[in-house]
Every structure is written in C-alpha cells, then in structure tokens.
C-alpha cells in the first residue's frame, strides 16, 4: 500500500492546528473542491469565494479531511488562517526532505515549458516532484510544496509574478539549490512604471531564496543579463550562462528545424554536443540549453538530460502541433494560445515564417494584454516582423491588434475583428488544406477559442468540416 503523503497528526504539528473528528491519512492536497478524490486534504481558502462553503462537498466526494478556519465539516484541522496553514504545510514538506535538490524557474517567456522539460529529466533520474500546469503564484507554489512526497530526490518549481515583491516570498519558501531566469521582456508592463527595468528587478528577486553558492542560470543574450548577473553574485550565487553569446557555459551554435522538431548544436562547458528536440520554434534553441543547465545543477547526468529533451513534447497552448483533416487534405495547427507578449509573438512569427512547406503560413493573433501605455505601439511594431519573417497572412482579433492590422501591407491582411468570437467565421472559411496556422494571444483575449474552433474542423475526429 502506498505510504500516505500526510497523516492528520503530521498536519496538526506542521500547521499548529487542532483536529476535530477522527484521525485520517492524506494522499493528495487540493484547494478546489471539484477536484476532490478519495484520500485528499481539502484546504478551505477564503478568496473570491469562501472555500469553507465547499468543504462538506469535498468530503462527500471522498476527501479524507479538511484544513480550515472553522469546523464546517469533519474531520478537519482547524487553524487561524488557512493560507498561512498551507504555507506552513509546504515548509514542513520541504523540511522533511532535506536531501532533495530543488530548482526554481521564472522568466517573462518560457518558464512553464522549461519547468516541464526539466521535470521530464528529473523523472528520468529518480524520484521527482514538480509544479503542475502553471501553479506559480502565492497559492500554487505552497500547494506544490505541500504535495511533495517525503522521499523526493529532486524537485522543480515554477515561480511567476505580476507585480514587484511577489517572487521573493515564494522563493524563500522553496529555498532552491538552483534557479533560472529564462528571459526578461516587456510583460506585465502596466504594473511597472519604469518598464522592463522594473520587471528585471522583480525577476531578480528569485536570488533572494537561493542557497548560497547555488547556480543562477541566466540568458546571456538578454539585454538585462549584466544586471541579473550582478544581482546573482551579490546574493552569493554562481552564474551559469546559456545563449548564443560567445563563452556561454551552454553556447548555442546552430538551431536547425527538422520534421517534428529541430536539431540543436551547442557547446556545453567546452564540449560539442548535438541533440534533437520536439520543438520547432527558434527560441527553443536557447531554452533547451537553459533546461540542460538546470538539470546539470540538480545533479542529472547529460545523457539523461538529452534523452528527456528528445522526449519532451510541446505543451497544450504553448506550441503543441496537430494535423487537422479538412476537405482535400489537412492543415497544420500550431496552438500557442496560452499567453503572449511582444517578444514571444515575435519569436512565434519568426518560427512560423521559417517553416518549410508549400502551403500558406498564417498567423492568427489576439490582443497582448498588460502592456501599459505602450500597448498600441507594441502591437503596431509587430508589423515589421510580419513583413520580414515569411508569414503570408495575418488574422487579427481585438482592439489592440487593430494597430497591427492598420500597419500591415494589404497582401498580408487576412481579416480583423473586434473579438476572437467575431473573427472565427472569417478565419474558418479561409482555411484550406496545406496551410500552416499558428494561433497566439493572451489568455484573456480568447486566442484559445480560435485554436479550439480550428481543431473542431477536423473531419477525422468528427468535426463539421
């Protein structure tokens, strides 16, 4: 029988709580009652909706017990503050696995995909634990820690932010042995009056919880590299550099797109290596090297790391590809709809334009959000990339994307609409066999709905074709 993740006695001790009801064993930790399954601990948090209102429902679905602020269901461990209790449970999970090597990853672009690529390597190397989905905020990070089994050998955590002073408390909770900043770009700009400089400072907070002497994996091609390297050294970290910059610890020599992915040539600590990956976008050249350095810092050997990168597939909404069967053949759908920023859209456009094929290269773009006062200009500036990238046609949705639409030359224009829903009819009617279609935009601007609508055209899967 699988050992429990927690016993109720351990939970009481960790959170300084009081048990009401019978002792229980826990095999999972959740904060959403709809996910409740047998053996779960449900944390009743007070947020937009009070989790205490759903505690009884979680128990009815099989939850073994509850952690909350009042005895709304039994058995329950009662604490003064449920969120503080979750954090203390995470701290206890970290403390009871003292030999586990922990890594933490942040960045304006690519942090989720790099975290999950590292996870694959850790799982190949032994007993591993990692963030799921984008559990990277004040709830997701302590929840991921609280779920960490006591026999974990290696773990990796994704850490995100929208404002200053968000990363620091989370990384102090994780206390990683190695950290990575994938890149610093124009993202969440509306929350930083001084622009990218403020974003860079906020990302540098990740060094505040890093073990002294630990590895700080940094992007040598990023304009904020010198700033971040200085901050890393100020916190006693050892910088490890990836990118095309000469002399990088992991130096990118060549990125060659290939069927089903790409080939990466690099120099790792002076040694020439070449390896396949399943991602075809050019930014995955440096990102794969970021993952290699993180795996190295977490004591995973090179052969295991390269095998993991060869295995790791693009995540849903983050570059995942599929063939969609339509009349006369099929088209390639590249679903990059989870989120967007100027740098990630630029990279996606270049990646689309570089694809080899006889069909049209079509970009479907929705608004990039949280860019502040420069939002319209940043959307308009994408026109230069479109014109030089090899992209044939662009479909745009949203009031901000109107700035790009107005700046495009006439032969590049597919259609513009004020929303994703309004664009869908024109987009779907324009698709034909042989096309390569990339969908990208911020999550809240509903790019994912356009990707789903394109996927639903699939005759082979019963779509309306």
Per-residue tokens: 304: 């295991």
Q: What is the 3-state secondary structure (H, E, C) of 52-86?
A: HHHHHHHHHCCCCEEEECCCCCCCEEECCCHHHHH
What CATH architecture does domain 97-311 belong to? 3-Layer(aba) Sandwich (3.40)
76 — pLDDT class (breaks 50, 70, 90):
very high
pLDDT in tens, 323-369: 999 998 999 999 999 888 888 899 899 989 888 777 899 999 999 99
User: Taking the domain 6-80, which CATH number applies?
Assistant: 3.40.1390.10
188 — pLDDT class (breaks 50, 70, 90):
low
Give mean pLDDT, residues 409-437. 95
Give mean pLDDT, residues 402-411. 94
**How confident is the prediction for the chain on average, in pLDDT?**
93
Q: Above 90 in pLDDT, residue 446?
A: yes
Q: Above 80 in pLDDT, residue 97?
A: yes
Range in 134-148, 187-201, 337-351 the model is least confident about: 187-201
The pLDDT, as a whole number, for residue 187 is: 61
The pLDDT, as a whole number, for residue 101 is: 98
- What is the domain partition of the chain in residue ranges? 6-80, 97-311, 320-461
Q: Above 50 in pLDDT, residue 287?
A: yes
pLDDT in tens, 116-130: 999 999 999 999 999
Per-residue tokens: 19: 């048990």
CA distance 367 to 351: 19
The pLDDT, as a whole number, for residue 198 is: 84
The pLDDT, as a whole number, for residue 462 is: 60
Distances (CA, A) of 406 to 193, 352, 397, 430: 28, 21, 12, 20
Residue 324 neighbours by CB under 8 Å, 6+ apart: 330, 331, 332, 333, 454, 455, 457, 458, 463
The pLDDT, as a whole number, for residue 193 is: 65
Give mean pLDDT, residues 42-71. 94
pLDDT in tens, 213-246: 999 999 999 999 999 999 999 999 999 999 999 9
Q: Above 70 in pLDDT, residue 186?
A: no
Nearest to 378 by CA among 223, 196, 218, 204: 196
The pLDDT, as a whole number, for residue 465 is: 43
pLDDT in tens, 293-318: 999 999 999 999 999 999 998 888 88
Domain 320-461 has CATH 3.20.20.80: no
Range in 17-31, 81-95, 451-465 the model is least confident about: 451-465
Same fold, 97-311 and 320-461: no
CA distance 108 to 34: 31
Cβ distance 440 to 336 under 8 Å?
yes
């Amino acid at each position: 029988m699988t050992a429990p993740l927690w016993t109720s006695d351990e939970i009481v001790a960790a959170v300084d709580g009081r048990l009401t009801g019978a002792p229980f064993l826990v095999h999972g930790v959740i904060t959403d009652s709809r996910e409740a399954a047998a053996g779960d601990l449900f944390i009743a948090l007070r947020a937009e909706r009070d989790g205490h209102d759903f505690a009884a429902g979680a128990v009815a679905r099989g939850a073994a017990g509850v952690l909350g602020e009042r005895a709304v269901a039994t058995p329950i461990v009662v604490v003064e503050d449920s969120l503080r209790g979750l954090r203390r449970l995470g701290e206890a999970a970290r403390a009871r696995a003292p030999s586990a090597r922990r890594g933490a990853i942040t960045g304006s672009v690519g942090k989720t995909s790099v975290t999950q690529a590292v996870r694959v390597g850790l799982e190949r190397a032994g007993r591993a634990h990692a963030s799921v989905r984008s559990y990277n905020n004040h709830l997701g990070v302590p929840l991921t820690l609280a779920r960490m089994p006591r026999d974990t050998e290696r773990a990796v955590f994704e850490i995100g932010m929208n404002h200053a002073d968000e990363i620091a408390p989370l990384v102090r909770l994780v206390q990683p042995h190695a950290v990575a900043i994938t890149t610093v770009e124009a993202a969440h700009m509306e929350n930083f009056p001084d622009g990218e400089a403020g974003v860079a400072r906020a990302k540098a907070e990740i060094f505040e919880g890093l073990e002294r002497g630990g590895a700080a994996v940094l992007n040598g091609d990023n304009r904020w590299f010198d700033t971040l390297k200085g901050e890393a050294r100020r916190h006693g970290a050892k910088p490890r550099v990836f990118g095309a910059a000469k002399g990088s610890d992991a130096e990118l020599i060549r990125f060659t797109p290939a069927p089903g992915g790409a080939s990466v040539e690099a120099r790792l600590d002076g040694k020439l290596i070449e390896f396949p990956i399943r991602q075809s976008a050019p930014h995955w050249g440096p990102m794969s090297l970021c993952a290699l350095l993180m795996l190295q810092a977490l004591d995973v050997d090179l052969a295991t790391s390269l095998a993991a990168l060869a295995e790791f597939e693009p995540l849903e909404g983050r570059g995942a590809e599929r063939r969609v069967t339509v009349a006369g053949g099929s088209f390639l759908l590249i679903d990059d709809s989870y989120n967007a920023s100027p740098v990630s859209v630029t990279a996606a456009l270049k990646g689309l334009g570089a694809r080899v094929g006889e069909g049209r290269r079509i970009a479907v773009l929705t608004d990039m959000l949280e860019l502040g006062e420069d939002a319209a200009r940043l959307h308009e500036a994408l026109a230069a990339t479109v014109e030089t990238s090899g992209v044939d046609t662009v479909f745009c949705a949203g009031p901000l994307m109107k700035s790009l639409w107005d700046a495009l030359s006439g032969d590049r224009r597919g259609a513009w609409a004020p929303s994703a829903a309004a664009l869908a009819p024109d987009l779907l009617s324009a698709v034909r066999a042989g096309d390569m279609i990339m969908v990208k935009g911020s999550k809240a601007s509903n790019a994912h709905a356009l990707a789903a609508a394109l996927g639903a055209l699939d005759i082979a899967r019963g779509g309306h074709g």
